[in-house]
Chain A
Amino acid sequence: MNPIIDGVQKAFQLIFSGDPTFYGVVYRSLFFSGVATILAALWGTPIAMLIGLREFRGKTLVKSFFNTMIGMPTVALGLILYLVFSKAGPLGPLGLLYTPAAIMLGEAVLVTPLIISITTNAIEAVDPEMMNLARTLGASESQTSIAILKEAMNGVILGNIAGFNRAVAELGVALLVGGGILGATDVLTTDISLYTQRGDLGLAIAFAIILLLIVFGINLIIMLAKKAKILLTFGRSPQ
């Protein structure tokens, strides 16, 4: 029998079997990427606000630095992070190498430039007079920044979704700092790579289908959201 057809068949059996080991991998992929995105947003958003709202020398340089970093090959970053987390590295004593924490931190670093760039662009697209509007209505400087961030919310959300997308789909960082330990640090991409090498195409294809579904799903949501403009209105209602 054709190993590819066999693989596809096995893949669908797995997907519909509800196998806990299989879905454990799916869960880890989503969870690690989710935490990584949240971390990156936590430190990336304030940085984007500084770049987007302040005028300073070297601003273009900083912006092009983050833009360039988006294209960083994931294996190269994975290697750098491996060196940082390894026993002899600066964070070696923490013993994070090959733990979920290492993957989450590593992927957070990976998606940070992407989130910063998109968020900065979104903030810069807001009418700068909006800051004066918030101020004249009585906002302090920090409240003014928050008002601008709210106006940029569409772009900010988009940036975070793009970051999540990249984290879920990348292999280099997860493999090099996570090690792909089965049941502990393996995720969709590391398992696709592992099972393909082992010749277990059924599992590899099953994981790939799930990964594609996630990525397509995310993009579908973005598209629908743009269409329905559901991201355009937000904020508390008076009641």
Chain B
Amino acid sequence: MVALVELKNLSKSFSDRTVLDNITLQIEEGEILALLGPNGSGKTTLLKILAFLEKPTGGEVTFQGVPVTAKNVEQLRLQSAMVFQRTMMFSTSVYNNVAYGLRMRKMPKTVIKEEVSKALSLVKLEGFEQRSAKNLSGGEQQRVALARALVLKTKLLLLDEPTANLDPKNAAIVEDVIATANRELKTTIVIATHNMFQAKTLPNRIALINDGVISEVGEPSEIFSRLSKNLASFAAVDNTFVGTAETTADGTTIVDIGNGVRIEATAQRSGEISIFISPQDIILSKSAVTSSARNVFKGRITSIIESGSLVKLTVDVGQPFAVQITKRSFSEMGLNLGSEVYIAFKASGVQVV
């Protein structure tokens, strides 16, 4: 494999604070690399350096073997495009948003028109051209942002938490587009993510980043098996637990994750394993309802974070679980910090990593 970008002993500090520390990493041509790390670990900063938007304070960045300098940085920016963590729209139409980069590249009008409509159909927003970008829903805006970057067909695409604030339907569209771009345009993609599941299915390689240091790089299967313990202790990953598994008589597995929390899973495993439950698969209720869910726990809400149309809650049932619900249900249920709630999820929703 050929390296598209090479980072050598890269570091970045803001005033006195070291945010990235001695990072050496090769991004290979055509791969999807996931940067997995907790809040504040330096993912966004690293992506901005890869987008040539932020200047490292130490070390070297080379793009296709060429060192990045103040002189060639504007030229190099044409080879990479970043989609930001916080979606930003120019206050104009969707068409003008997606066409922006092509206009900067002085493409002919007819080509721009064609490319914009192709890019919009890729993100399933056909016919949205004349809509005002700022009036779209959060999910639609995020897809416009993706189309706006994809349409440039840059060698390198940098995606900062591309699905973090999306509902499952929008997230699926975005993941699909990412995979398509990588497969058909051979775009090299770096994704910063918190989402364990995304990190498992999409990328060819995963780099774990913590406190500005890359601790592990490897294939997902490798990372998830060899490092399962390390991973679970990794604050980045919601709803990942290490526990001891025992198979039951009816063919399921009980995983004791400590503090009296015993989770039933369908996978047949025993011994020490790591499990993951997607926040979207967890159902929240105010009382214990009878359902087919094999796992029901009672707990209290310990944190509430609003993001877009969703609300992310942490429910402590002995172990902290991240749960996602819509803003609407959140207000309809009249929930508060400290509210007593039940969480439920199916045994089949428990993934062994």
Question: Which residues does A use to contact B, with CB under 8 Å?
Answer: 127, 129-130, 132-141, 143, 147, 150-151, 153, 232-238
Q: Is the CB of B84 within 8 A of A133?
A: yes
Determine if B74 is an interface residue (Cβ-Cβ < 8 Å): yes
Cβ contacts under 8 Å, A234 to chain B: 91-92
Report which of B90, B91, B95, B100 forms a contact with A237, defined as CB distance below 8 A.
B95
Q: Is the CB of A238 within 8 A of B129?
A: yes
Q: Is the CB of A129 within 8 A of B113?
A: no
Smallest CB gap from B106: residue in A: A138
Determine if B148 is an interface residue (Cβ-Cβ < 8 Å): yes
Q: Is the CB of A136 within 8 A of B99?
A: no
Determine if B254 is an interface residue (Cβ-Cβ < 8 Å): no
24 A–B contacts from the bound complex (CB under 8 Å): A130-B88, A130-B90, A133-B84, A133-B90, A135-B53, A135-B77, A136-B77, A136-B82, A137-B101, A137-B149, A137-B152, A138-B104, A138-B105, A139-B100, A140-B74, A140-B104, A233-B92, A233-B132, A235-B90, A236-B96, A237-B93, A237-B95, A238-B95, A238-B96
Cβ contacts under 8 Å, B134 to chain A: 232
Total A-B residue pairs with C-beta atoms closer than 8 Å? 76
Q: Is the CB of A151 within 8 A of B105?
A: no
Give B86-130 interface residues, CB cut-off 8 Å to A.
Answer: 86, 88, 90-93, 95-96, 99-101, 104-105, 112-113, 116, 129-130
In the complex the two chains form, what is the Cα distance from A233 to B86 in whole Å? 21
Cβ contacts under 8 Å, B112 to chain A: 238
Report which of A129, A134, A136, A151 forms a contact with B51, defined as CB distance below 8 A.
A136
User: What is the CB-to-nearest-CB distance from B278 to chain A, in angstroms, rounded to a whole number?
Assistant: 29
Determine if B8 is an interface residue (Cβ-Cβ < 8 Å): no
In the complex the two chains form, what is the Cα distance from A138 to B178 in whole Å? 21
Cβ contacts under 8 Å, A139 to chain B: 100, 104
Cβ contacts under 8 Å, B78 to chain A: 138
User: Given A136-B53, A235-B96, A237-B93, A129–B84 Cβ distance below 8 Å?
Assistant: yes
User: Given A127-B88, A129-B84, A140-B74, A235–B104 Cβ distance below 8 Å?
Assistant: no
Cβ contacts under 8 Å, A238 to chain B: 93, 95-96, 99, 112-113, 116, 129
B residues contacting the other copy or chain, number (CB 8 A): 33
Cβ contacts under 8 Å, B274 to chain A: none
Smallest CB gap from B151: residue in A: A137
Question: Which residues does B use to contact A, with CB under 8 Å?
Answer: 48, 51, 53, 74, 77-78, 80-82, 84, 86, 88, 90-93, 95-96, 99-101, 104-105, 112-113, 116, 129-130, 132, 134, 148-149, 152
Q: Is the CB of A136 within 8 A of B96?
A: no
Given A129-B88, A141-B74, A238-B116, 12 more A-B residue pairs with CB atoms under 8 Å apart are A127-B88, A132-B84, A134-B100, A135-B77, A136-B80, A137-B100, A137-B152, A138-B101, A150-B92, A237-B95, A237-B130, A238-B112
Most buried by B among A132, A138, A150, A238: A138
Smallest CB gap from B132: residue in A: A233
Most buried by A among B88, B90, B91, B113: B91
In the complex the two chains form, what is the Cα distance from A51 to B95 in whole Å? 31
Cβ contacts under 8 Å, B130 to chain A: 237
Q: Is the CB of B95 within 8 A of A129?
A: no
User: What is the CB-to-nearest-CB distance from B100 to chain A, in angstroms, rounded to a whole number?
Assistant: 5
Q: Is the CB of A232 within 8 A of B91?
A: yes
Q: Is the CB of B91 within 8 A of A137?
A: no
Q: Is the CB of B86 within 8 A of A129?
A: yes
In the complex the two chains form, what is the Cα distance from A101 to B284 in whole Å? 73
User: Given A137-B81, A138-B105, A235-B96, A132–B152 Cβ distance below 8 Å?
Assistant: no
User: Given A137-B101, A138-B101, A233–B91 Cβ distance below 8 Å?
Assistant: yes
Q: Is the CB of B92 within 8 A of A132?
A: no
Smallest CB gap from B130: residue in A: A237
Cβ contacts under 8 Å, A147 to chain B: 90, 100
Smallest CB gap from A238: residue in B: B95
In the complex the two chains form, what is the Cα distance from A235 to B100 in whole Å? 11
User: Given A133-B88, A136-B81, A137-B81, A233–B93 Cβ distance below 8 Å?
Assistant: yes
